[in-house]
């Protein structure tokens, strides 16, 4: 690998927004480090250990399942009823002239949140034993790429707007999925919108010794 | 107050994927890879300005059909009508839902338009190596990154109502091609913002 033999500076941090170089300092709980040049956030103190992080990730996985299996909205009009799940909503775009947009819609509200939860869960199960999960580097890089495309909170607002829009000419009731969606929105913000850089350092240990050492 | 040194002054660079700070040996090794996460290393995002411009202009062009073409077809008791994004906003406003009208107006008109203006401004000032209001421009870029994806709102609203209202002759809602163009505008402008490298704002400091 061509990268081998490069000198590294683990105690330094470089601002992503302007390339200013700083010494990493330990922060007290709730503190944040800001760049002096461009005022961007450099890093923040992590108030979440891996145990709690994993627990919240599992909670998010359960909420994700409920939000996807149960209908999110129910409507009725003159004795006729209908309901829709998230998947049906994305699939509804696939019919008609706007069909291609169904793909990014399904990605942003279903596939990307699912991948975020799955990858984080995978990483954290190993990280709590101070180990690197198989595929750790790929999973960490994927989490960085996925983050801007996760739109659970936009979907939540979309559900509220849709309910108000339809309630002017039919009866609309929230389905069980919408409550799970609301909780998922909060959980995914906590677990996925945080600084994951320090996972690299935390699990950056010697490869685990074989346990059957004589 | 003296500002901290920048990466190139110390001959280091940071991996864009994992943040690791490394000795800058790109000149001797060419395409280096991060020893920690194996991502390709570069000092600046490659072809940042050209790619950001291309995506931004494509987004701007798609914004025209996104507003002119209907995004949704609504039929009630046999009489149907096509609706554009702005007609949807006006309908909410006349119905007395001022808050919802405002939310949709911000997400579908204010946010995309300010993205065009801000990204265009950032690209032009960076190309002219301007020293004007660097901190404010850096902040504008972070604002674009923060609010950009909320424009997907309209796409998701159309998806949800189209999935729900399926009562054949009684009432029916179908997506129309405008929403495809609008979704493309959101995706293209997000990609444009990701291609733009905010470090370029500060690169004219040394000259």
- 3-state class (DSSP) for residue A12: strand
Name every chain B residue with its beta carbon within 8 A of the beta carbon of A165: 92, 100, 157, 161
What CA–CA distance (Å, rounded) separates A38 from A19? 10
- The C-alpha atoms of residue B164 and residue B162 are separated, in whole angstroms, by 5
Distance in angstroms (rounded) separating the CA atoms of residues A55 and A62: 11
Give CA–CA dist B54/B181, Å, rounded.
Answer: 16
Q: Name beta bridge partners: A82.
A: A75
B72 beta partners: B83, B175
Question: CA distances (Å), B47 to each of A125, B33, B177, in order?
Answer: 39, 18, 32
**CA B125 to mean position of chain CA atoms:** 19
Is B167 in Cβ contact with A80 (below 8 Å)?
yes
Q: What are the pLDDT tens digits along chain A (214 aa)?
A: 444 567 888 889 999 999 999 998 888 888 889 999 999 999 888 778 889 999 999 999 999 999 999 999 999 988 889 999 999 999 999 988 899 999 999 999 999 999 999 999 999 999 988 888 999 999 999 999 999 999 999 999 999 999 998 998 889 999 999 999 999 999 999 998 887 877 887 776 555 444 444 3
In this prediction, residue B1 carries a pLDDT of 56
Residue B89: its pLDDT value, please? 93
Contact A95 B174 (CB under 8 A): yes
Instruction: Please tell me the distance from the alpha carbon of residue B75 to that of residue A16, in angstroms, as a whole number.
Output: 50
Percentage above 90 pLDDT, chain B: 64
Cβ distance A82 to B3 less than 8 Å, yes or no, reads no
What separation, in Å, do the N-terminal and C-terminal C-alpha atoms of chain A show?
A: 34
Task: Give me the residues of A, 41-70, that contact B with CB < 8 A.
Answer: none
Task: Return the pLDDT at A209.
Answer: 46
- Domains within chain B, CATH numbers bracketed: 1-43 (no CATH), 47-206 (1.20.140)
Pick out chain B residues at pLDDT < 50.
none
Q: Enumerate the domain spans of chain A.
A: 9-45, 48-202
Show the 3-state SS of chain B. Answer: CCCCCEHHHHCEEECCCCCCEEECCHHHHCCCECCCCCCECCCCCCCHHHHHHHHHHHHHHHHHHHHHCCCEEEEECCEEEEECHHHHHHHHHHCCCHHHHHHHHHHHHHHHHHHHHHHHHHHHHHHCCCCCCHHHHHHHHHHHHHHHHHHHHHHHHHHHHHHHCEECCCEEEEECHHHHHHHHHHHHHHHHHHHCCHHHHHHHHHC
CB contact under 8 A, B12 and A14: yes
| B177, closest residue in chain A (CA to CA) | A98
Shortest Cα distance, chain A CAs vs residue B170, angstroms: 9
Distance in angstroms (rounded) separating the CA atoms of residues B184 and B66: 9
Residues of B in contact with A140 (CB under 8 A): 17-18, 37
Could you tell me what percentage of chain A is helix, strand and coil, using 3-state DSSP and rounding each to the nearest 5? 50, 15, 35
**In the numeric block, which tokens belong to residue A71?**
């209908």
Q: Which tens digits make up the pLDDT trace of B148-183?
A: 999 999 999 999 999 999 887 888 999 999 999 999
Q: Hey, is the C-beta of A147 within 8 angstroms of any chain B C-beta?
A: no
Min Cα–Cα distance to chain A from B14, Å: 6
| Size (chain B), residues | 207
Do residue B23 and residue A6 have CB atoms under 8 angstroms apart? yes
Q: Which residue's entry shows tokens 């950056």? A: A204
Tell me the ipTM for this assembly. Answer: 0.90
Q: Give CA torsion, residues B29, B34, B40, B45, to 10 deg.
A: -100
Q: What is the pLDDT of residue A3?
A: 44
How far away is chain B from the Cα of A64, in angstroms, using its nearest Cα? Answer: 18
* Chain B positions in Cβ-Cβ contact with residue A8 (cut-off 8 Å): 20-23, 35-36
Interface of A with B in 148-167 (CB under 8 A): 148-149, 151, 154-155, 157-159, 161-162, 164-166
Residue A81 burial (CB < 10 Å; 0-12/13-18/19+)? Answer: exposed
Tokens of A86: 């998230």
Q: What whole-number distance in Å separates Cα of residue A18 and Cα of residue B7?
A: 9
* Interface touch A2/B31, C-beta < 8 Å: yes
């Amino acid at each position: 690998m061509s990268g081998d033999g490069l000198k590294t500076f683990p105690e330094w941090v470089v601002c992503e927004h302007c390339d200013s170089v700083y010494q990493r300092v330990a922060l007290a709980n709730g503190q944040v480090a800001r760049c002096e040049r461009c005022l961007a956030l450099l890093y923040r103190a992590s108030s979440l250990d891996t145990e709690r992080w994993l627990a919240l990730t599992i909670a998010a996985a359960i909420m994700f399942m409920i939000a996807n299996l149960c209908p999110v909205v129910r409507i009725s009009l003159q004795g006729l009823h209908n309901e829709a799940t998230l998947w049906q909503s994305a699939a509804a775009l696939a019919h008609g002239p706007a069909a291609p947009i169904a793909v990014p819609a399904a990605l942003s509200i279903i596939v990307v949140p699912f991948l975020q939860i799955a990858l984080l869960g995978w990483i954290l199960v190993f990280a709590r034993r101070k180990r690197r999960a198989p595929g750790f580097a790929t999973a960490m890089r994927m989490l960085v790429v996925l983050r801007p495309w996760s739109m659970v909170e936009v979907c939540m607002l979309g559900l509220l707007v849709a309910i108000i829009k339809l309630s002017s000419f039919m009866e609309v009731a929230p389905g069980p999925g919408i409550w799970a969606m609301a909780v998922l929105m909060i959980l995914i913000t906590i677990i996925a919108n945080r600084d994951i850089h320090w996972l690299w350092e935390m699990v950056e240990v010697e490869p685990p010794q074989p346990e059957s050492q004589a | 107050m003296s500002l901290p040194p920048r990466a190139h002054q110390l001959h280091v660079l940071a991996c864009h994927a994992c943040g690791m700070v490394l000795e800058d040996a790109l000149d001797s090794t060419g395409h280096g890879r991060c020893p920690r996460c194996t991502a390709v290393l570069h000092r600046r995002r490659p072809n940042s300005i050209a790619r950001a411009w291309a995506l931004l202009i494509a987004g701007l062009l798609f914004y025209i059909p996104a507003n002119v073409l209907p995004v949704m077809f609504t039929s009630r008791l046999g009489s149907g009508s096509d609706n554009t994004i702005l007609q949807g906003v006006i309908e909410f406003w006349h119905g007395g839902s001022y808050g919802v009208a405002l939310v949709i107006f911000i997400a579908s008109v204010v946010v995309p338009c300010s993205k065009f203006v801000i990204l265009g401004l950032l690209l032009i000032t960076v190309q002219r190596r301007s020293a004007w209001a660097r901190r404010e421009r850096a902040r504008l870029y972070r604002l674009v990154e923060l609010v950009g994806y909320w424009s997907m709102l309209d796409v998701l609203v159309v998806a949800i109502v189209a999935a729900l209202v399926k009562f054949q002759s009684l009432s029916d809602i179908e997506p129309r091609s405008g929403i495809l163009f609008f979704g493309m505008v959101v995706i293209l402008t997000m990609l444009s913002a990701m291609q733009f490298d905010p470090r370029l704002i500060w690169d004219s400091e040394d000259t």
